[in-house]
Amino acid sequence: IYRYGFLAHGKHQAEQYLQSLKEKCQFLATNPKLSHERREFTPPIRINGHKQHLIIYLSNEDSITVVRILHKKMDVLNHLDH
């Protein structure tokens, strides 16, 4: 994500975008049930949009695990086993 942003938009914007992704992941860590659980996947995942990307994560009682971050135009089913 950073490399594409750097090449397409420059260092400053790439760093800002990466920082905003980190902040969104931290927000999701404190609000893990913000997104609906997608039970068609094993294990069940949650997907939350952030600007041009989808943050795909697992959640439990006290933390989240980010599984993938995909561009919103990418086919989630082709990039995840379910």
| Domain boundaries defined on the chain | 2-79
Work out the pLDDT band at 77, boundaries 50, 70, 90: confident
Look at residue 25 and tell me whether its pLDDT is greater than 90: yes
Read off the pLDDT of each residue in 60-81 and give the average, rounded to a whole number: 89
Say which CATH topology domain 2-79 has: YaeB-like fold (3.30.2310)
Look at residue 6 and tell me whether its pLDDT is greater than 70: yes
* 30-43: pLDDT as tens digits: 999 999 999 999 99
Read off the pLDDT of each residue in 55-60 and give the average, rounded to a whole number: 96
Burial 34-61 (b: 16+ CB within 10 A, else e): ebeeeeebeeebbbbebeebbbbbbbee
